[in-house]
Structure 1
Amino acid sequence: PRPPDAVLQCHECGRRAAPPRRCPACGSDRVRPMGMGTERLQAEVERAFPAARTLRWDRDTVRGRDDHRRLLERFAGGEANVLVGTQMIAKGLDLPRVTLVGVINADLSLRLPDYAGPERTFQLISQVAGRAGRGDLPGRVVVQTYAPDHAAIVAAAAHDYEAFAAAELDARAAHDHPPAGRLARLVYADRDRARARDVAAAMAASLTEDRDRRGLPGPRVLGPTAAFISRRRGLYRQQVTLRGADPMPLLQRIDFPRGWTVDIDPVSLL
């Protein structure tokens, strides 16, 4: 059951709201939360395994500069036998006594509107799997996923980098994504939502007109559209994406005014 004081809060813009009891689009009451945060996951582990001694590693527990080191020392020293954390614990930890690693919602990146999602999914599973069995004892990795047949999941489970790279390169080439094509991500941020949209729309129209007037082979000008994180620190964000041909001949003449952020060949479109 939903706690009476439950609240949804965006960590980017700070907006708070009560969880909806009905779908705002269709009116269905079949609405329930999906997934879980580290705090809830820690509680579930402690409920399922009463003898477990747990520690949690996330941005709420490691705020200070030395908090990472202290928490790692506590875990390595045997104060806890279960470490629950975010992707922060996926990289670079050498814990010889860890023999079992679980990856929860491993396919989350696959459901985001980003061309690099499969790569991040493969990378995460491969990195987390490397935390188990680093000592004399063998290790085991359990992956929770709603997409067990996805190429990234299958290749990561088999430790098959070559198969993943071949499939991913073909998929990216079909859509002119790097490295087959080029990308540029232009984001305009403004405190006024309408002005943010209008300025971004004017930029997209200007780029399209200039490209066509000069007879350039590309790139395609996509947008504007609200950025994935549409509001951050009080600023509304609109995104224009250039895809395909080299964007520099189109962009090098532009003196971008304040409010614009330009990222050439971004590692993420989020």
Structure 2
Amino acid sequence: MAEVGLYLDDFRAPERTFQLLTQVAGRAGRSPLGGQVVLQTYQPEQYAIQMAAGHDYAGFYRRELNSRREIGYPPFTRLVRLEYRHAEAQKAQAAAQRMAVQLEDWLREGGYSSTELIGPAPSFFAKQNGLYRWQIVLRGPDPAAALRGRNLGDWRVEVDPQSLL
């Protein structure tokens, strides 16, 4: 199905879907014999699919920027993704809950009222390589500033992540 990537819990899912479909169509057209792309989808009205089918790069760009502006995602805001991994599910969850409380304190103490804390929640791929994964996302004008000089222990920090998966 053409829209399978749209079901992922990531703000860049439409962008990735559009990119993949236009890449596939471009490869089909490289043959000296020409090519034809047939999309099978349950969501033919979805804008990323519609605009990829019509090769409407500018339209997709405008629509995607408007969507991101409305929901407060890059490039109109910045993100920091913190991830904790542990072999025991309960310990991973407990560490994530403790970090969320700590982050709330740091945000309040530092005057970061325009930075939003999202989570904690299990990562999209909740268990990988035998480790349970939990994440917290900070969203705001400069969420990394709240973390500067802080002891984050075993937490992995990704500023402006390409994916929230």
Q: What interval of TM-score do these two structures reach, taking the shorter chain for normalisation?
A: over 0.9
CA drift at 1:132: 1.2
Pairs aligned (count):
165
- Work out whether residues 217 and 245 of structure 1, in 8 Å CA contact, stay in contact via their aligned partners in 2: no
Q: 1:192 aligns with which of 53, 75, 88?
A: 88
Matched, 1:263 2:161: no
- Higher Rg: 1
Aligned to 1:74: none
Alignment correspondent of 1:129: 25
Aligned counterpart, 1:233: 129
Matches within 5 A, 1:239-254: 239-254=135-150
Find 2:73's aligned residue among 162, 170, 177: 177
1:140 aligns to what SS in structure 2? coil
State the SS of the aligned residue for 1:131.
Answer: helix
Matched to 2:100, the amino acid is A
Corresponding letter in the other structure for 2:41: T
Runs of 4+ in 1 over 3 A off after TM superposition: none
CA-to-aligned-CA distance 1:156-197 (integer Å, 9 cap, x gap): 001011000101111111121111111111110011111111
TM-score, with length taken from structure 2? 0.95
The Cα shift of 1:138 comes to 2.3
**Residue 201 (1) aligns with residue 97 (2):** yes
RMSD value over aligned CA atoms? 1.1
Task: Give matches, 1:35-184, under 5 Å.
Answer: 105-184=1-80
Shift of 1:253: 2.0
Contact 1:200 1:240 in 2 (8 A): yes
**Which structure carries more relative contact order (alpha carbon 8 Å, separation 6+)?**
2
TM norm structure 1: 0.59
Higher helix share: 2
> Displacement, 1:133?
2.7
Retained in 2: the 8 A contact 1:188–1:239? yes
Q: Which residue of 2 aligns with 1:19?
A: none
Structure 1: gaps spanning 5 or more residues: 1-104
